[in-house]
């Protein structure tokens, strides 16, 4: 019989294992958590109804709430998202739980975002909310290897340990 382990327990276990690898003095963030924005209200960029800056769908709002529940005890000290409503709204539930604000960054310059986080949030646990086409550069900017995010993938969560370059991909419902 297979026992289902709740996603929050998986996340905590993964965080603990990743932190063990960073036991040496760290000159960068302890952990960077990178996710894609939740589902769009317009059906996505390939939809006939695609908009430039859509809100989250009902399903997307529910996913943002689940993300907040998963990360509420992860030690997040800062939240960054691109300037778009869907990324900002994905981060707002966690920001509200933690008493933080979602800090805006340009969706066109992942390098500047990585530099900003390394400069302003050294040694913190940071959540970054991006897009399927920006996540690979963000993960790479923190020392991780190549990752891809399909257009229909809203469930991937990447845990990046900058000190070691270790990247772990989890899925959340």
CATH number of the domain that residue 111 is part of:
3.40.50.1240
Best CA proximity match to 8, nearest among 79, 69, 77, 98: 69
User: Does residue 19 form part of some domain?
Assistant: no
Residue 137 lies in a domain: yes
| H or E element, residue 66 | helix 58-71
Q: How far apart are the C-alpha atoms of 138 and 140, rounded to whole Å?
A: 5
Average pLDDT over residues 62-78: 98
Establish if 7 belongs to a structural domain: no
Q: Which domain holds residue 157?
A: 29-171
Assess if residue 75 is contained within a domain. Answer: yes
105 domain residue, yes or no: yes
In a domain, 1, yes or no: no
Residue 61 has pLDDT above 90, yes or no: yes
Global pTM value = 0.83
Mean pLDDT, the chain, whole residue set: 86
Q: Structurally, how many domains does the chain consist of?
A: 1
What tokens appear for 62 in the block? 């529910």
In a domain? residue 133 = yes
User: Distance between CA 101 and CA 16 in Å, rounded?
Assistant: 26
* 13-38 pLDDT, tens digit each: 555 444 444 444 444 568 999 999 99
Asked whether residue 47 is assigned to any structural domain, the reply reads: yes
Residue 11 reports pLDDT greater than 90? no
Q: Are 138 and 35 in contact, with CB atoms under 8 Å apart?
A: no
Report the distance separating Cα 81 and Cα 87, nearest Å. 5
Tell me how far apart the alpha carbons of residues 137 and 152 are, in angstroms, rounded to a whole number.
19
């Amino acid at each position: 019989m297979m026992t289902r382990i709740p996603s929050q327990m998986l996340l905590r276990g993964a965080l603990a294992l990743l932190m063990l690898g960073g036991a040496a003095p760290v000159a960068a963030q302890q952990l960077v958590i990178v996710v894609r924005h939740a589902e769009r209200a317009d059906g996505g960029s390939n939809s006939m109804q695609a908009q430039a800056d859509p809100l989250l769908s009902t399903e997307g709002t529910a996913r943002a709430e689940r993300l907040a529940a998963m990360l509420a005890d992860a030690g997040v000290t800062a939240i960054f998202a691109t300037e778009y409503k869907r990324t900002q709204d994905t981060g707002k539930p966690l920001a509200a739980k933690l008493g933080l604000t979602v800090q805006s960054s340009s969706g066109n310059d992942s390098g500047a975002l990585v530099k900003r986080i390394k400069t302003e949030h050294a040694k913190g646990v940071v959540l970054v909310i991006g897009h399927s086409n920006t996540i690979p550069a963000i993960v790479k900017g923190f020392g991780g290897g190549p990752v891809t995010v399909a257009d229909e993938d809203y469930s991937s969560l990447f845990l990046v340990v900058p000190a070691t370059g270790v990247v772990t991909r989890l899925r959340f419902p």
